[in-house]
């Protein structure tokens, strides 16, 4: 592989994204389902690559120059390696530039949201592992770690599914990467469709309770809280910095992303060394299979804490950090989807459909049952974001919250954002998402299933009791 191959590989990605954007604008169905342009671009790359167009040509003329699709093999090789690289950038940007308030204030607002999100996430392991134990393994002869695919794909989304590809390969389940990416697409679409249907039902039935009289009262409550917006002093300090910096602001902010990844790498290597010297001596090796991206997330939090403790928040522009993360996520999605093996999905079509149905049914039923019992007020407005995130990506959850509560009268946006501090480091691409497959291989599915079930029950009990406590205290979010 030469550098020129890498260059043209990413030039083609940029063109595919432009084409995906054009298709999204012109085709009503794609636009109405809120499918991101990067997903459309990835599908185009897949259809024009070796798994679709190339396979058709190869079946009729194996010696044709288009037997591997319209893309050169070197381009495909670059794309196959890209998701596991760029996902580290995505996770490193999650906390950088975000104001981290006191844990007491965060927990007070995010407790119901955290409980509901944990129930959804751990429940996906329960449903997936039950399906693996009863059907996928005995009937279809899939490995037991297939029970982890729902959480990886639905809760984690395309980025996490792509980032876990190497782990699945090392655990002798290479088809897991293709199945999880396809499942992530199913989750993304079904999340928007199911969420829209629930919101429409809420409007018609009167269960969508956006009470406008609470707006002024909530503003008064929030006025005593620290503002998350940048002050004029921070903006002025940043302007002075950039004036004398002689470097592009995007490049400067990318330096902090690199620092976060470096911290994450040091943390991961430290944990691997600790494992090798302690519990790994007896054969229990987990950190070997943990990818870098969950540690990069923690590295980003470390960078942000250092910036805040040294009172240099002006060094970081959150908008530019989000642009860096957004670009990396687009590259991750396009390259991951363009290199999906359709043959692997075809060989496991029935398990794929079963996993898809199980994931959708669990998320929708859990929302209907738990959300009214965990959120004391605005249960649709506050719960729909977590359901959307658990079936697609964070952006899906935000989209559904905006549909349900455009003016944020319920305070769902703040609680949803704060919840990520208790959620992202664990599930949806966090430490347990990375550790679950090797844990299943090492200890078997039953202990992991039992542990996930206990955690679901504990969070359920906490969520219900906390809801009653809030109602009895007449606490306002």
**Quick one: pLDDT at residue 218?**
46
Domain boundaries, the chain: 3-81, 101-225+345-473
Q: Taking 60 as the threshold, does the pLDDT of residue 216 lie above it? A: no
Q: Taking 90 as the threshold, does the pLDDT of residue 16 lie above it? A: yes
Average model confidence (pLDDT) for the chain? Answer: 82
Angle between helices 83-92 and 249-277 (to 10 degrees): 100
Mapped onto helix, strand or coil, the DSSP state of residue 69 is strand
Which class for 7: exposed (0-12), middle (13-18), buried (19 or more C-beta within 10 A)?
Answer: exposed
CA-based nearest residue to 363, from 194, 164, 212, 178: 194
Task: Give me the mean pLDDT over the 386-395 stretch.
Answer: 77
Task: Give me the mean pLDDT over the 333-347 stretch.
Answer: 77
**Quick one: pLDDT at residue 214?**
42
Lowest mean pLDDT among 43-47, 110-114, 340-344, 354-358: 340-344
CA–CA distance, 208 with 205 (Å, rounded to integer): 8
**Quick one: pLDDT at residue 227?**
42
**Quick one: pLDDT at residue 393?**
65
Size (the chain), residues:
477
Indicate left, alpha or beta for 246 from its phi (over 0: left) and psi (-120 to 50: alpha). Answer: left
222 band by pLDDT with thresholds 50, 70 and 90 = very low
CA-based nearest residue to 377, from 184, 151, 112: 112
Q: Taking 80 as the threshold, does the pLDDT of residue 341 lie above it? A: no
Percent of all residues in the chain with a pLDDT value above 70, rounded to a whole number: 85
Global pTM reads: 0.70
132 band by pLDDT with thresholds 50, 70 and 90 = very high
CA-based nearest residue to 20, from 360, 292, 352, 334: 334
CA–CA distance, 164 with 83 (Å, rounded to integer): 9
Q: 393-426 pLDDT, tens per residue?
A: 666 676 677 777 776 677 777 677 677 767 777 8
Q: Taking 70 as the threshold, does the pLDDT of residue 200 lie above it? A: yes
Give bridge partners of residue 69 from the DSSP assignment.
Answer: 67
CA–CA distance, 477 with 475 (Å, rounded to integer): 7
**Quick one: pLDDT at residue 324?**
93
First to last CA, the chain: 55
CA-based nearest residue to 345, from 356, 333, 359: 356
What does the block give as tokens for 126?
A: 């329960």
Percent of all residues in the chain with a pLDDT value above 90, rounded to a whole number: 28
Task: Give me the mean pLDDT over the 39-44 stretch.
Answer: 87
CA-based nearest residue to 261, from 177, 168, 328, 308: 328
209 band by pLDDT with thresholds 50, 70 and 90 = low
What does the block give as tokens for 87?
A: 């996902």
**Quick one: pLDDT at residue 344?**
67
**Quick one: pLDDT at residue 101?**
64
**Quick one: pLDDT at residue 425?**
72
Q: Taking 90 as the threshold, does the pLDDT of residue 285 lie above it? A: no
Lowest mean pLDDT among 77-86, 160-169, 179-188, 216-225: 216-225
Give bridge partners of residue 67 from the DSSP assignment.
Answer: 69
282 band by pLDDT with thresholds 50, 70 and 90 = confident
Cβ of 471: how many Cβ atoms within 10 Å? 11
Is residue 298 within 8 A of residue 425, CB to CB? The reply is yes
**Quick one: pLDDT at residue 181?**
83
What does the block give as tokens for 379?
A: 């249960």
Q: Taking 90 as the threshold, does the pLDDT of residue 228 lie above it? A: no
Mapped onto helix, strand or coil, the DSSP state of residue 435 is helix
Q: 299-321 pLDDT, tens per residue?
A: 988 999 999 888 888 888 888 99
| Cβ within 8 Å of residue 296, ≥6 positions away | 88, 89, 91, 92, 260, 261, 264, 265
Angle 126-128-131 (CA atoms, 0-180°, nearest 5)?
105
- Residue scoring higher pLDDT (329 or 407): 329
């Amino acid at each position: 592989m030469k550098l020129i191959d890498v260059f043209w590989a990413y030039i083609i990605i940029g063109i595919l994204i432009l084409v995906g954007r054009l298709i999204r604008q012109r085709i009503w169905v794609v636009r109405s389902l809120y499918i991101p342009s990067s997903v459309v671009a990835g599908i185009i790359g897949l259809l024009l690559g070796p798994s679709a167009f190339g396979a058709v040509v190869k079946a009729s003329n194996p010696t044709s120059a288009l037997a591997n699709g319209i893309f050169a093999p070197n381009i495909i090789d670059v794309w196959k390696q890209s998701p596991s690289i760029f996902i580290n950038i995505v996770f490193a940007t999650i906390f950088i530039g975000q104001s981290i308030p006191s844990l007491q204030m965060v927990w007070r607002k995010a407790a119901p949201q955290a409980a509901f999100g944990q129930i959804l996430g751990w429940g996906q392991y329960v449903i997936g592992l039950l399906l693996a134990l009863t059907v996928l393994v005995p009937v279809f002869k899939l490995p037991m770690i297939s029970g982890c695919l729902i959480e990886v794909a639905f809760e984690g989304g395309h980025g996490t599914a792509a980032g876990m590809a190497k782990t699945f390969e090392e655990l002798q389940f290479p088809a897991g990467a293709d199945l999880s990416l396809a499942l992530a697409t199913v989750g993304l679409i079904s999340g928007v469709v199911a969420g829209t249907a629930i919101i429409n039902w809420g409007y018609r039935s009167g269960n969508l309770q956006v009470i406008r009289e609470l707006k002024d009262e909530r503003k008064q409550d929030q006025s005593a809280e620290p503002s998350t917006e940048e002050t004029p002093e921070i903006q002025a300090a940043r302007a002075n910095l950039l004036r004398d910096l002689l470097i592009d602001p995007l490049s400067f902010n990318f330096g902090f992303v690199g620092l976060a990844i470096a911290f994450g790498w040091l943390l991961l290597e430290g944990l691997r060394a600790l494992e090798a010297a302690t519990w790994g001596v007896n054969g229990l090796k987990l950190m070997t299979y943990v990818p870098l991206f969950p540690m990069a997330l923690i590295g980003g939090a470390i960078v942000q804490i250092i910036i805040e403790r040294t009172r240099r928040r002006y060094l970081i522009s959150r908008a530019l950090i989000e642009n860096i993360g957004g670009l990396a996520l687009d590259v991750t999605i396009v390259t991951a989807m363009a290199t999906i093996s359709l043959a692997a999905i075809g060989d496991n079509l029935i398990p794929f459909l079963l996993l898809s149905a199980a994931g959708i049914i669990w998320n929708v039923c859990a929302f209907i049952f738990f959300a009214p019992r965990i959120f004391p007020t605005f249960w649709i407005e506050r719960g729909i974001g977590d359901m959307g995130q658990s079936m697609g990506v964070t952006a899906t959850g935000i989209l559904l919250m905006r549909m349900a509560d455009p003016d944020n009268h319920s305070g769902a946006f703040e609680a949803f954002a704060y919840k990520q501090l208790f959620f992202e480091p664990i599930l949806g691409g966090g430490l347990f998402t990375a550790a679950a497959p090797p844990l299943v291989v090492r200890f078997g599915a039953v202990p992991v299933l039992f542990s996930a079930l206990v955690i679901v029950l504990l969070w359920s009990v906490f969520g219900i009791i906390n809801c009653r406590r809030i109602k009895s205290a007449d606490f306002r979010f």
